[in-house]
Structure 1
Amino acid sequence: MTGKNPDQTVTPLLIALCAGGTALLWPPLALLVLALLGARVLMRGEARIDFAQMAGPVVASLIVGAFVGLAGAIGVLFVWRVYADTSWSVAEAKRLAMAAGRPAETQFTALAHAWATPFYGVTTVAFTAPHMIAGLPLDLPHVPYYVPLAAGVIAAGGLFDWGLQRAADWRLGELATAPAAHLLSHHIVFALGFGLMIDVSAGVFALMAWRLVHAAPFGARVFRPALPAPTT
């Protein structure tokens, strides 16, 4: 088997689940948790804000908000955030697969299941809209019941097929644990956060916490080491 430290996958998942659970019970505390995680990322000095990448979603949300109100604008930002985090997660799975010497697991067909679960979550949120996220309204265009139903069947089928392939790899002693563990946590976060509809707000908190912990893993240096003084 090939892989990395399990804590690098388990810790972000556990913190994400705790953040989501906290958001269900006491949202202000969940906001504090996210603020602390965000501050930890900033203290590492590696955070980069791509304003050009944010321009499109922000403009789109402003346009939608001007026509349908704040709830629609928040809905646009929600879909963009899910897409952005899914893109990051898939890219991370590709990186881990390449590091493990499994280029076949970087193909789109091998990672389609990773897109199916978030898509199912978005369609479920759209079917059950409107919602509230941290006191802000969220609304998406309503979809009929068969849209999330079909998306759920596709997501479940893709996840089942991926699980069978990883089980076969494990039996042969060829399981690449790092990408497999990452994708498993990916499905857990998106399925619990949005697909099972426990609470959309809690799902957003969990997703944000998951990304922030990955951006500044625990066990890594928070502050960059000081540069040595120049010699004369």
Structure 2
Amino acid sequence: MIDAAQSQTAERQAIERSLLAFLIAAGVGAISLLSPPLSFLLIALLGAHALLQSGSPRIDAWSCAGPILAALLVGAFVGVAGAVGVLFVWRLFADTRWSQAEADRLALTTGAPAPRNLMTRAHLWLSPLYGLTLVAFTAPHMVAGLPLDLPHLPMLAPMIAALLLAAGLFDWGMRCAVSWRLGELAPAPAMHLLTHHAIFIVAFGLGLDVSAGIVAMMAWRLAYAAPLRIQANLTAVP
């Protein structure tokens, strides 16, 4: 009985964590459209909060060595815009891979089977792919005063990516509906995947400012790493 109650509490907290992180990211991204300096201040506050919550943060310098080296090589040949583009693609890939690992972790925590074959995982990568093709189609961009450029893609590329994304979301939604009908749906991983698609589409799939999208992604990761909690003081006053 206690284990079941603890499991339900953990699942509810995971759902709230995913939803709150998305709302914070969307809010900071919207603020970035209106006032970039204010959004940078909010990112700094979220980063400070994450550092305080983590206690002793671990920085894996080796994981950054490859992308930085690639950015330097590309920058040496095509300029700063190409180097920033390499870093953008790297962060898009890294955030997607982290989100996939987090979905698997939540599935394992709730006892739900994590998808292992490529087809059931494909939808998770389709929203970042659509955002990437749209950013490449509309390139070049300016990000915090730095140019960002990617190899130009024709309009057909984001259109095909959008169709693939729609098909992937439909397939995932149908599988979630079947699992719910059978009473086998794990709400925590499903909510995480829903916010995963939402943040990538809002950040890069609507044709808005790429800088605001990058800020929103940063806020998403920071808010998820250290969730904001408001605790009420219930101490009785005599």
1:106, distance to aligned residue in structure 2 (A): 4.5
State the partner residue of 2:3: none
Q: Which residue of 1 aligns with 2:156?
A: 146
Aligned-pair CA distance for 1:141: 0.5
> What is aligned with 1:19?
28
In structure 2, the gaps of 5 or more residues are: 1-6, 232-238
> Does structure 1 residue 109 correspond to structure 2 residue 134?
no
Is residue 4 from structure 1 mapped to residue 16 from structure 2 by the alignment? no
Aligned to 2:235: none
Q: Which residue of 2 aligns with 1:41?
A: 50
What is the alpha-carbon distance in structure 2 between the residues aligned to residue 220 and residue 55 of structure 1? 38
Does the residue aligned with 2:150 lie in a helix, a strand or coil? coil
Quick check: 87-96 or 149-158, which moved more? 149-158
Q: Which residue identity lines up with residue 31 of structure 1 in the other structure?
A: F
In structure 2, the residue matched to 1:228 is: none
What is the TM-score normalised by the length of structure 1?
A: 0.90
Q: Which moved more, 1:207-216 or 1:42-51?
A: 42-51
What is the one-letter code of the residue matched to 1:192?
V
Question: RMSD between aligned alpha carbons?
Answer: 1.8
- Whole-Å separation in 2 of the counterparts to 1:219 and 1:124: 35
Structure 1 stretches (4+) deviating beyond 4 angstroms?
Answer: none
Supply the AA of the counterpart residue of 1:18. G
Classify the secondary structure of the residue corresponding to 1:132: strand
Please tell me whether the aligned partners of residues 104 and 114 of structure 2 are also in contact (alpha carbons under 8 angstroms): no
Q: Distance between the aligned counterparts of 2:144 and 2:118, measured in 1?
A: 35
- Of the three residues 226, 229, 237, the one matched with 1:219 is 229
State the aligned residue count. Answer: 221
After the TM superposition, which of the residue ranges 128-137 and 11-20 deviates more from structure 2? 128-137
Q: % of aligned pairs identical?
A: 56
Q: Is the 8 A contact 1:93 1:106 kept in 2?
A: no
TM-score of the two chains, using structure 2 as the length reference: 0.88
Q: 5+ residue gaps in structure 1?
A: 222-232
How many angstroms apart in 2 are the aligned matches of 1:52 and 1:10? 32
Once residues 99 and 108 of structure 1 are traced to their aligned partners in structure 2, the CA distance between those partners, rounded to angstroms, is 21
